[in-house]
Amino acid sequence: MPLFCLHCLDNETDGAERRAAARPAHLEWAASLGEACRMAGPLLSNDGKMIGSVFLITAHSLEAVRALHAEDPYTKAGVFGVVRINETRWAIGEGKPA
């Protein structure tokens, strides 16, 4: 099954505030993805502040990933200013699918 990387940067105006408000719902949503979510976590600034999110998601298509992303409470709350979704391949590293 294809693997996709979602690279999401918070909007610079009020992304941090929106992120804080939506965080509990976002974490619940992310946990509900089950095995489709191969990896997820915050993107951090040089001083350790959360400035975005990254996900590795398995899905049948780019459209399926876009639909999943649209359901993320962070997306619904307007946390992200820039979102990039690209298909990728797991070349090396722990957790590589068989």
Answer whether 18's CB lies under 8 Å from 66's CB. Answer: no
Asked if the structure places residue 24 within a domain, the reply is yes
How does pLDDT run across 25-71, given as a tens digit for each residue? 999 999 999 999 999 999 999 999 999 999 999 999 999 999 999 99
Asked if the structure places residue 76 within a domain, the reply is yes
CATH of the domain at 67: 3.30.70.1060
> Which pTM was predicted?
0.89
What letter does residue 11 receive in the DSSP assignment? P
Report the pLDDT value the prediction gives residue 92, as an integer from 0 to 100: 83
Report the pLDDT value the prediction gives residue 94, as an integer from 0 to 100: 76
Asked if the structure places residue 81 within a domain, the reply is yes
**Tokens at residue 98, please?**
């068989």
Asked if the structure places residue 96 within a domain, the reply is no
CA distances from 72 to 3, 68, 84, 86 (A): 18, 7, 15, 17
The tally of domains found in the chain comes to: 1
Asked if the structure places residue 7 within a domain, the reply is yes
Answer whether 96's CB lies under 8 Å from 39's CB. Answer: no
Asked if the structure places residue 94 within a domain, the reply is no
Asked if the structure places residue 78 within a domain, the reply is yes
Q: Determine the structural domain holding residue 39 and report its residue range.
A: 3-88
Residue 7: count other Cβ atoms within 10 Å of its Cβ.
Answer: 15
Cα–Cα distance between 24 and 21 in angstroms, integer? 8
